[in-house]
Amino acid sequence: MKVLVAVKRVVDAYVKVRVKSDASGVDLTNAKMSINPFCEIAVEEAVRLKEQGIAEEVVVVSIGETACQEQIRTALALGADRGILVSTEQEIQPLTVAKILRSIVVKEGIDLVILGKQSIDSDNNQVGQMLGAIADMPQGTFACKLEANGNRIKVTREVDGGEQTIDLSLPAVVTTDLRLNEPRYASLPNIMKAKKKTIDTISVEDLGVAVNSSIVTLKIESPSQRSAGVKVASVDELLDKLKTEAKVI
């Protein structure tokens, strides 16, 4: 089995972001960048499949500027075998990402694609579903458990009513949820080994994908500040404030 994992470069989840003064976007100056947490879970699951002898090769792909190689190297240090950087300076929308991944699936002969269910910057939750549709591949979204057996894969997915288990034929697309696994930390020896692993750089044009977007970001704003809470001395005072200030009664 050959596994493809996509990783996205995002602002670290523990960094408090700032909006640019002109409201055109998020200020990334000196901001710590990391692998999207859901993508990190996807890398971990692919590496576990390799350690179990199920996957023969784990290929990591990232789409964006040259700096994305940093996140690919991190994935290689976690146990992936090879990296692909799809180089572009343009902002890429989910449908374009799905088309790029479909081209790589065909080019590389991928059996299983594991993606994070969403990225923490845009929160679209679209790429996995779009890839499954345009590549005509069965999909298991929001996976909390994964079991491979020959040319089939059993995915337990989180749904509103609890859990649902589905059986997919390969090639297939799986998107990861938080409970699927706990990603490991890269050891220093593996970080050093990752520096010698191959990262191939290709352009979007090399894959025959047009970068078109019908979405224009008009303005980005910080969420409004929450007012401080107050303490009340009695139930009567609470009811009075709910009536006069909160106007919920």
Domain segments of the chain: what residues?
A: 2-244
pLDDT computed for residue 30 by the predictor: 86
Q: How far apart are CA 87 and CA 209, in angstroms?
A: 12
Q: What is the pLDDT of residue 5?
A: 98
Q: The whole model's pTM is what?
A: 0.87
| Nearest partner of 75 among 5, 122, 14, 123, judged by Cα | 5
Least confident of 11-25, 134-148, 195-209: 11-25
Can you tell me the distance from the alpha carbon of 149 to that of 53, in angstroms, rounded to the nearest whole number?
11
Confidence band, pLDDT 50/70/90 cuts, at residue 243 = confident
Mean pLDDT of 36-46: 96
CA distance 84 to 61: 5
Give the model's pLDDT for residue 246: 74
CATH top-level class of 2-244 = alpha beta
Q: Is the pLDDT of residue 8 over 90?
A: yes
Q: Dihedrals φ, ψ of 216, to 5°?
A: -120, 125
Is pLDDT above 90 for 191? Answer: yes
What angle is formed at CA 71 by the lines to CA 80 and CA 112, rounded to 5 degrees?
A: 40
| C-beta separation of 59 from 111 below 8 A | no
Say how far apart CA 220 and CA 90 lie, in whole Å.
18
